[in-house]
Amino acid sequence: MTANNHLPLDNAQNLQNNDANKPSTPISSLHDLIEAQISFMQQWLTQQAQPLAEEAWQWLSAQQMSRYVSSEDLQRLINGWLLSQPMTEIMRTDIRAILQTVIYHPVNDNMPLRELVDDTQIETLASYIGSHDEQRNALIHSFIGNDAFADLLTQTLYHAINDFMETTLDKAGGVGKLMKIGRSSFEKATNSNLDGKLQTYLHRNIKDLTRRAERNAQEHLTNDEVTRLLTAGWTRIKDKPVSELQTYLRDEPGHSSIDHIESSVQQSYNRLRLSPYLHSLVAASVETWYQNHQADSIATLAASLNINKLAMTKLTTALRPIIQDAISSDWLSAHLREMLQAFYTQPNIKAALAKKDS
């Protein structure tokens, strides 16, 4: 559709027909003339809202993006406005409410995890992890070879042995009492604590065992074995419902996992959004995107978001009630009146009207 500078004949005829059905109001003053023009313009805009919107989109979509927006404009928009403003409490409340609804929705009870993640995705991920020796060995070390694991195992074995000994000695009667006396005498004679000796012994030997276990795992866990273990783990859980994830969350007043997660994300976001680090990354990303698209038309950019002429037609149709209310609003009438009054009070216009009247 091409732009029109005049009212189409069919719409003009419609307006004339509408005016014919109304009682004619004599125009005896400039005020009456301006009011009649305002009424005509509002009727015209109301009838032309849809084609005007389509023509506006047709014109806008043909324009080149770089003609109106620069890379600096986009960077100021993101860094100077979006990132400089914290997320409002209203929006944070809405996010928590939506997460609550989505996570605890009854539909999750009948939706298996395999519907969210395809088997081929897990197989691809497992193959990727299994085929990278360095990452695989780091994963094995994090589980088996680190000191924290050895310390935890040492304390667990120590408490198990100590509990066993205490329970056994209590049940041994007189023999148990003699053994406790012997333990006390040993500690006094050697000036050392038997519990400490036991923990040191366990710790030294367990660390050696974990190092051996780590080496064995790295030597014998092949790429195929790692891949098989990961896919086998997925096979065990893929038929469980999505609601199974709720067992790892708390939903109690004052102890909501969703509240804690949202709050933690907000803390990280608020710390990061003002950092020079993020601003540098945003600036570099915007510059890269702009260099790739600065010659594109707005229609090309819109198409990348699946926004086409049909989508814009549907949007303008949905917005038509708002547009029509805006056209008939008092504020638009006031601005039109101000514009027309300024027009008719121009000296040349006043002189031309006075000459015509004479």
Q: Tell me the pLDDT tens digit for each residue of 65-94.
A: 999 999 999 999 998 888 988 999 999 999
Output the pLDDT for position 151.
75
251 forms bridges with which residues in the sheet?
256
Q: What is the pLDDT of residues 229-252, one digit of tens each?
A: 889 989 999 999 999 989 889 888
Residues of the chain with pLDDT under 50: 1-9, 12-13, 16, 20-21, 23, 175-176, 178, 181, 186-187, 189-191
Rounded distance between C-alpha atoms, residue 98 and residue 52, angstroms:
38
Q: What is the pLDDT of residues 137-166, one digit of tens each?
A: 877 777 777 777 777 777 777 677 677 666
Supply 234's token pair.
Answer: 């997925």
Residues comprising the chain, all counted = 358
Beta-carbon contacts of 135 under 8 Å, excluding residues fewer than 6 positions away, are 129
Output the pLDDT for position 7.
42
**Which 3 state secondary structure label does DSSP give 88?**
coil
Output the pLDDT for position 34.
92
Rounded distance between C-alpha atoms, residue 215 and residue 204, angstroms:
17
CA distance readout (Å), 79 to 188, 276, 283, 286, 290: 70, 10, 8, 10, 15
Rounded distance between C-alpha atoms, residue 126 and residue 179, angstroms:
55
Output the pLDDT for position 194.
55
